[in-house]
Amino acid sequence: MTGYQVNRRGFMRSALSVGALAMLESAVPNVLASSLGALPVASEKKRYFAPVKVERNRLIRTVVGLRPFRRGGFVVEASRLGEKFLVHNYGHGGAGITLSWGTSSAAVDLTRGFDLPAAARSFAVLGCGVIGLTTARLIQRRLPGVSSVTIYAKNLPPDTTSNIAGGFWSPVSVYDQQHITTKFSQQFQTACVVSNRAFQTLVGAEYGVRWMDTFELLSEPAALEREPSGGAHLYPDLKILKDAKKYFGVDHVREYKTMLIEPHIYLNALLRDFQLAGGKVVVKEFPSLAQVSNLSEQVVFNCTGLGARALFDDRNLIPVRGQLELLLPQPEIDYNYLGGSDYMFPRRDGIILGGTWDRDNWELEPDPDQTAGILESHAEIMKRMKK
């Protein structure tokens, strides 16, 4: 947590406990009730922003992923599947990594109401993306008397949808405002806080998490007054960049710090931790609920993402296609930017350029026209930037 020295594993056990979660839940409304107020203006100290080299001959790959999106937001709820207890944790839209610790914490907490015999302390997790891995780790850490945790999945890292994610910590593209309930809104806000605090304890090379300066390129001054997604309290050092036009070529820029997560490092670290703690992984596909019912585990967590549409017949769950362009890495780029639908994140495996948001599109092949459009749009941003 900012300003404190903490033991990472000790903090995760306590901060994600029921007591800590309840404390966070009670604190969230008070935090959100506060307004942005007058944001400080960044100092006039001369700054240098290294330009991103947006050139087609630096393009190393194009990736496409399908986000599991529900207009009413993610699903975290418990039900029964015959004699089994079933916990759903899916439908995170464009914020699966961002919200993973928060929604998984809520999902694991739901099991405390189950009347399980002492001999039935084995758990199954369906899915090995970020939600499945996080859920499995929290079962290991927080539920007493666990005899075994097994992840069942068709695909493992590096072949999951989570591996294609940009990895920028911000709870965006999760729901449509007109479709959400008050209950979901409360779930969402709590998940944002819990997940943000959890990622803070993982900052460092081991998990591929780091704080970065982020710049929002805004088209109108009114946008400066709107809180960032999840609430201003989740974005330290929030301020307005003075003389924005001098640096980015636009009139209004908001600056803050948030975390960037490298999926290829992070997911491998989670899988390693899960296996070191005694977890098992079984490569298996579930074409129907009958195969799920035949599992030996008494409690099953559904973390199948978009797979829940067919497996659990959730027709409110749709794919939202996203295409990213990766350029050769540039170690000198030490900032993120967001501008309309454009965003840039400088990861170790390459400069990430996005993005697209195509609802109900199942196509996984890269679109050359989108590649050209993304490159052109970011090249224009670089032209506006001043050296």
The predicted pLDDT at position 43 comes to 55
Angle, alpha carbons 161-166-172 (nearest 5°): 95
Cβ count near 8 (within 10 Å) = 15
The predicted pLDDT at position 116 comes to 72
Strand pairing category for 299-302 and 148-153? unpaired
The predicted pLDDT at position 6 comes to 37
In this prediction the pTM is 0.89
List the beta strands (DSSP E) in the chain: 59-70, 75-81, 84-90, 122-126, 148-153, 209-218, 239-240, 252-261, 280-283, 299-302, 317-327, 335-339, 342-347, 350-354, 358-359
| Calpha distance 103→135 (Å, rounded) | 9
β-pair partners for 343: 338, 354
Q: Which two tokens stand for residue 250?
A: 């636009």
| Calpha distance 193→159 (Å, rounded) | 29
Q: Which two tokens stand for residue 162?
A: 């989570």
The predicted pLDDT at position 324 comes to 98
286-337: pLDDT as tens digits: 999 999 999 999 999 999 999 999 999 999 999 999 999 999 999 999 999 9
169-184: pLDDT as tens digits: 999 999 999 999 999 9
The predicted pLDDT at position 127 comes to 98
Q: How far is CA 97 from CA 128, 192, 198, 263, in A?
A: 13, 11, 12, 9
DSSP letter at 121 equals -
Cis preceding linkage at 144, omega within 30: no
The predicted pLDDT at position 362 comes to 98
Q: 108 by DSSP, 3-state: which?
A: helix
The predicted pLDDT at position 40 comes to 74
| Calpha distance 74→167 (Å, rounded) | 18
- Nearest alpha carbon to residue 150 among 173, 126, 171: 126
Burial code (b: 16+ CB inside 10 Å, e: under 16) for 35-50 equals eeeeeeebeeeeeebe
| Calpha distance 262→274 (Å, rounded) | 18
CA atoms within 13 A on the CB side of 93: 21
Each of the 387 residues of the chain gets a pLDDT tens digit; together they read 333 233 433 334 334 443 444 434 444 444 433 446 567 766 556 688 999 999 999 999 999 999 999 999 999 999 999 989 999 999 999 999 999 999 999 999 999 878 776 656 899 999 999 999 999 999 999 988 888 999 999 999 999 999 999 999 999 999 999 999 999 999 999 999 999 999 999 999 999 999 999 999 998 888 888 899 999 999 999 999 988 998 999 999 999 999 999 999 999 999 999 999 999 999 999 999 999 999 999 999 999 999 999 999 999 999 999 999 999 999 999 999 999 899 999 999 999 999 899 999 999 999 999 999 999 999 999 999 865
| Calpha distance 278→151 (Å, rounded) | 11
The predicted pLDDT at position 146 comes to 87
| Calpha distance 88→309 (Å, rounded) | 12
